[in-house]
């Protein structure tokens, strides 16, 4: 590897290493999202699947499988499965959040309607199950069916925790483990399972995915308050407007004086938000070092992710995954 390559983002290096596999995944996704009978389905999915997403989750499955020496073809099916599950949850999330933009483009629920987003999401879930059944691996199906249940559970938990100032960091961790880390963990785990590596290595892959997913989501939640619209494709302050209790807010609420507490009660609990409230929220969080503390936690989880890889044999892909864990948090800077 030359200096130029080393300087590339780890995500791009993974994409380069796995280019042939990713091409096969993309071809499979295009084939399987088609519907003979309902042309609305490929319209909606193409809008989302072709929207330039990073394909991070399917890449994790491919990397895990290849790093473990897998030589079959099920890694492509499983990578597509993982992307279908992810895309289905995005469609449903946008309905739930009443989002209007994702990855810098109008959301499907805005371009078509909520109905299409709900039903096309269901179609993609069903398609993902068809794909995983084709691998004929009961363990793989078990892992991915469980991940799907944990994802839905995390989303419901997030819904009921929203607007509730009593939300603890423990509940927040449970929410993001469900809505984000469960699929990262499953994506890594199935790669190791189909490569039939020893159980300790399968668990290490899973632990990497879990920690990476947690770091990733904490950073995403931080960027919602500090990132630029161009960088994340959604508007700063969305979570505040949706009254979601994310880590920096939870930390700020825990350290609030009486006046600040009244501010959080009005804006988050009662949803009475006025001009300047977002700036005020960010000022309060900065005053208590809530953003920096949340960033430290993301760094801790990135470290956990990297360490999980230690027991795996040396491999170029292992190094890239290790760098990816750092890079995920470096997005904040």
By CB under 8 A, name the binding residues for a second copy: 35, 37-41, 89, 92, 95-96, 114-116, 118-123, 125-127, 129-130, 133, 136, 138, 141-142, 145-146, 148-149, 151-157, 159-160, 174, 178
Q: Whole-number minimum distance, CB 180 to a second copy, in Å?
A: 15
Q: Output the smallest distance, CB 259 to a second copy, in A.
A: 32
- Would you say 146 or 235 has its CB closer to a second copy? 146
Beta carbons of 132 and 77 less than 8 angstroms apart: yes
**Which residue, among 173, 286, 145, has the nearest Cα to 226 in the 3D structure?**
286
Considering the complex, what minimum distance in angstroms separates the CB of residue 179 from a second copy? 10
Toward a second copy, which CB reaches closer, 95 or 247?
95
Coil, strand, or helix at residue 154?
helix
Q: Mapping DSSP to helix (H, G, I), strand (E, B) and coil, where does residue 108 land?
A: helix
Phi-psi region of 326 (alpha: psi -120 to 50; beta: other; left: phi over 0): alpha
CB of 253 to a second copy, least distance (A): 21
Shortest CB 167 distance to a second copy, Å: 13
CB of residue 225 to a second copy, shortest distance in Å? 23
Residue with Cβ nearer a second copy (114 or 203) = 114
Distances from the Cα of 133 to the Cα of 55, 78, 136, 182, angstroms? 22, 10, 5, 20
In angstroms, rounded to a whole number, what is the distance separating the alpha carbons of residues 203 and 107? 36
Pick the closer one to a second copy by CB: 126 or 279. 126
**Given the complex with a second copy, which of 21 and 94 has the nearer CB atom?**
94
Count of alpha carbons within 13 angstroms of residue 42, beta-carbon side: 11
- Closer Cβ to a second copy, 125 or 263, answer by number: 125
DSSP three-state, residue 51: coil
């Amino acid at each position: 590897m030359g200096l130029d390559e080393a300087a590339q983002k780890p995500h791009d290096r993974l994409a380069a290493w796995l280019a042939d596999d990713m091409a096969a995944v993309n071809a499979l996704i295009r084939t399987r999202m088609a519907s003979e009978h309902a042309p609305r389905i490929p319209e909606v999915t193409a809008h989302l699947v072709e929207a330039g997403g990073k394909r991070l989750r399917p890449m994790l499955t491919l990397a895990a499988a290849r790093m473990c020496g897998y030589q079959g073809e099920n890694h492509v099916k499983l990578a597509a499965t993982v992307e279908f599950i992810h895309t289905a949850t995005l469609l449903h999330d946008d309905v739930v959040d009443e989002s209007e933009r994702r990855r810098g483009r109008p959301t499907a629920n805005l371009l078509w309607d909520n109905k299409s987003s709900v039903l096309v999401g269901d179609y993609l879930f069903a398609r993902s199950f068809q794909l995983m059944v084709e691998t004929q691996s009961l363990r793989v199906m078990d892992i991915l069916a469980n991940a799907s249940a944990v994802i839905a559970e995390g989303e419901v938990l997030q819904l009921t925790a929203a607007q509730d100032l009593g939300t603890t960091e423990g509940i927040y961790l449970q929410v993001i483990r469900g809505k984000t880390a469960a699929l990262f963990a499953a994506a890594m785990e199935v790669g190791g399972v189909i490569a039939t590596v020893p159980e300790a290595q399968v668990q290490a892959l899973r632990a990497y995915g879990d920690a990476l997913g947690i770091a990733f989501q904490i950073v995403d939640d931080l960027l919602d308050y500090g990132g630029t619209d161009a960088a994340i494709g959604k508007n700063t302050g969305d979570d505040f407007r949706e009254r979601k209790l994310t880590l920096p807010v939870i930390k700020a609420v825990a350290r609030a004086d009486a006046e600040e507490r009244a501010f959080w009660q009005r804006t988050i609990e009662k949803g009475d938000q006025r001009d300047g409230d977002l700036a005020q929220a960010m000022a309060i969080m900065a005053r208590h070092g809530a953003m920096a503390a949340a960033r430290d936690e993301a760094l801790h989880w990135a470290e956990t992710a990297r360490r999980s890889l230690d027991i795996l044999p040396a491999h170029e892909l292992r190094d890239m995954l290790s760098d990816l864990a750092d890079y995920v948090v470096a997005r904040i800077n």
